[in-house]
Amino acid sequence: MKEAWLFAAQRVSAMVLAPLVLLHLGTVLYAVRGGLSADEILARTEGSLFWGAVYGLFVLAAAVHAPIGLRAVLGEWCRWRGAGLDIAMALFGLVLLALGLRAVAAVL
């Protein structure tokens, strides 16, 4: 019942992402005031457990959500299916997770 689990993971991660995306947009609007470079943003957010936790969750949900969606798109548009696709999507999820957590680690 792999598809049923992926369906549930997709739904749950979407539920997590929906409010976090809104929060993120708000944060972006707020954070751009006073400079957009990584240093400037980090200067305002560094050392915050709260933001670390929020973005940690965001990254986790995105790393679950995006590969499942991409898997469906590739299956339909490129007729790519089977174990190769599943492995590629798992790796894609891990890359998202690694890149995202790296950014979160910088905040902490």
Partner 1 sequence: MKRARPRLVKTGYDGPVMAMLEVEIWRGEGGGGAWRRYAVPHEANQTVLDVVTHVQRHIDPSLAYRFACRVGMCGSCAMTVNGRPRWTCRTHVSQAARKGRVRIGPLRNLPVIRDLAVDMAPFFEKWRDAGARFVPSGEPPEEPVRPDEPERRAADAGIECINCAVCYAACDSVAWNPDYPGPAVLNRLWTLANDRRDGDRDGHLDAAGAGCHLCRSHQECADACPTGLNPTAAIAGLKREVFRRALGGRTREGRQ
Least distance from partner 1 to the Cβ atom of residue 67, Å: 15
Binding site for partner 1 (CB under 8 A): 1-8, 72, 75-77
Q: Which is nearer to partner 1, 7 or 30 (CB)?
A: 7
Q: Between 3 and 39, whose beta carbon lies closer to partner 1?
A: 3
Closest distance of CB 28 from partner 1, Å: 30
Report DSSP letters for the chain, one per residue: -HHHHHHHHHHHHHHHHHHHHHHHHHHHHHHTTT--SHHHHHHHHTT-HHHHHHHHHHHHHHHHHHHHHHHHHHHHHS---SHHHHHHHHHHHHHHHHHHHHHHHHH-
